[in-house]
Amino acid sequence: MPSRVIAGTALHTPTRGRFEALEDVLILVDAIGRISEILPRDHPRFAEIKAQAERQGNLTELQEGQFLLPGLVDLHIHAPQWPQLGKALDAPLEVWLQRYTFPLESRYADLSFAREVYSALVETLLANGTTTAVYFATIHLEASLALAEICLAKGQRAFVGKVAMDDARQCPDFYRDASASTAVNETRAFIQSVRDRAGEEDPLVHPIITPRFIPSCTDALLEGLGKLAEETGCLVQTHCSASDWESNFVQERFGATDTAVLSQFGLLRENTILAHSNFVTDEDLALIRQKGAAIAHCPLSNFYFANAVFPLRAALDKCVRVGLGSDISAGHSPSVLDGCRHALLASRARHSGIDPHLPPEERGLAGSTISVAEAFWLATVGGGEALGLPIGKFAPGFKFDALVMDLNAHGSNINWLPDLDTIEDVFQKLVLNATRSNIVMTWVNGAVVARSSAAQMRDDQA
């Protein structure tokens, strides 16, 4: 018996660049939040299962103008930077870190401040459709644990990392781990505590090993965290080849690229999440692919801090795993749908180039543009594959992480002409135009974790 049945039309991109509409289907979800079956309208048991679910109070039926989308995956977000969203993006990365970001992150020694910010952030992300988030927290063990607990309590699928950064030449006295061994030991304790809270079997929230980036870590710390990843089997995340300053710094210190250095220290592993990776070479991409690591493409923050446009098409052509990251607050939007729009624009910038005085074929890199369906795939299936999780599409065995999108929601920007718009047009309009107001319900692991205020009012009246 399914524990929940959802009736309606589901839109998704099960393979890269291929849009599919599952029209008027029943999605059967089991007790552990997994899709057990998807029944088309003409299935012999369709009417019986629907009627039975209705009798038992287990049926959710979408209304006219409503569509299901898979939940969105944010592969790279700094939770403590939420209070500075939209601020100070005109300084270069290294200045922005020292002047604004490290002072803000140091405030999370205060646990009640951390709880307040993290609760508001997780609620906002769920309302914006982020069903899975991969978080950098801060160096503080207690506050990082609080973020994991808040994700568990609010029902968001998450990877949470206590940030590790110990190099006194790059990190200020007021904000760094006391030593490499302290950082490794606290990361080990953090992993154990998150696992204790989330449980061993099919956990919703996972710990993730988080060296901030190579410049902020000593060799001893990088080595210690590489060994810890091997010992615990925990995933790893870090920033990689992000800007001229950062990649030149790594070249000068090691005479090698970020990717090669991470690999030497045992940090480039299956499902390691590399934020940015804008300056990767073909050899770097081959190494990332060989190790089964993945790239979090952060197009918005790249426009501010990268001095380059990520070679997305090259990465996809080389079968490297790629998903999208908001990179809050170097990116200033909590919406992964915005991330799709920014990825589309970045791909067009790379394709078109910038010099109008060159002939069109010499301006940019032909073949760099992505489609709306590819952008949405990055935000869903791409993110799931990066993490090695069965999320991002509607298929048996996949988790029911989903959004109910309402074209007619109060405050919607979407215009819809049923006689002119195909179902794929509707999908494109949702990806390009939907705002938080169109997301009336967010599901994670088969449970409703957020409802818009309009949906709450309707339910209260019913």
Q: Which residues bind ligand GUN (CB under 6 A)?
A: 78, 93, 97, 101, 212-213, 239, 242, 301, 305, 327, 330
- C-alpha distances in angstroms, 8 versus 30, 101, 186, 337, 390? 18, 44, 47, 22, 22
Task: Please choose which of ligand GUN, Fe ion, none residue 97 contacts, taking the beta carbon within 5 to 8 angstroms, the exact cut-off set by kind.
Answer: ligand GUN
CB of 335 to ligand GUN, least distance (A): 17
Q: Could you give the CA distance from residue 84 to residue 90 in angstroms, rounded to a whole number?
A: 13
Q: Pick between residue 66 and residue 101 the one whose CB is nearest to ligand GUN.
A: 101
**305 and 92 in contact (C-beta within 8 Å)?**
yes
Q: Pick between residue 136 and residue 190 the one whose CB is nearest to Fe ion.
A: 136
In degrees, rounded to 5, the angle at the alpha carbon of residue 130 between the alpha carbons of residues 138 and 175 is 10
Closest CA to 121 of 343, 176, 330, 113: 113
Q: Pick between residue 90 and residue 459 the one whose CB is nearest to Fe ion.
A: 90
In the bound state, the residue with its beta carbon closest to Fe ion is 327
* Number of chain positions touching Fe ion (CB under 5 A): 2
In the bound state, the residue with its beta carbon closest to ligand GUN is 330
Q: Pick between residue 149 and residue 327 the one whose CB is nearest to Fe ion.
A: 327
327 binds Fe ion (CB under 5 A): yes
**327 and 300 in contact (C-beta within 8 Å)?**
yes
CB of 106 to ligand GUN, least distance (A): 13
Closest CA to 6 of 65, 63, 70, 61: 61
- What is the pattern of x (binds Fe ion, CB under 5 A) and - over residues 286-325? ----------------------------------------
* Dihedral sign computed on CA atoms, order 309, 313, 316, 317: negative
Task: Please choose which of Fe ion, ligand GUN, none residue 305 contacts, taking the beta carbon within 5 to 8 angstroms, the exact cut-off set by kind.
Answer: ligand GUN
Q: Pick between residue 218 and residue 438 the one whose CB is nearest to ligand GUN.
A: 218
| Strand 59-61 versus strand 273-276 pairing type | unpaired
CB of 276 to ligand GUN, least distance (A): 7
Task: Please choose which of ligand GUN, Fe ion, none residue 213 contacts, taking the beta carbon within 5 to 8 angstroms, the exact cut-off set by kind.
Answer: ligand GUN
- Strand segments, DSSP code E, in 251-395 are 273-276, 294-297, 321-324
CB of 337 to ligand GUN, least distance (A): 20
For residue 179, the SS3 value is coil
**33 and 4 in contact (C-beta within 8 Å)?**
no
Q: Could you give the CA distance from residue 171 to residue 318 in angstroms, rounded to a whole number?
A: 35
Q: Could you give the CA distance from residue 112 to residue 117 in angstroms, rounded to a whole number?
A: 9
CB of 415 to ligand GUN, least distance (A): 35
Q: Pick between residue 140 and residue 239 the one whose CB is nearest to ligand GUN.
A: 239
Q: Could you give the CA distance from residue 207 to residue 196 in angstroms, rounded to a whole number?
A: 11
Q: Pick between residue 59 and residue 275 the one whose CB is nearest to Fe ion.
A: 275
CB of 341 to Fe ion, least distance (A): 19
CB of 78 to ligand GUN, least distance (A): 5
DSSP conformation class of 62: P
Contact set with Fe ion (CB under 5 A)? 275, 327
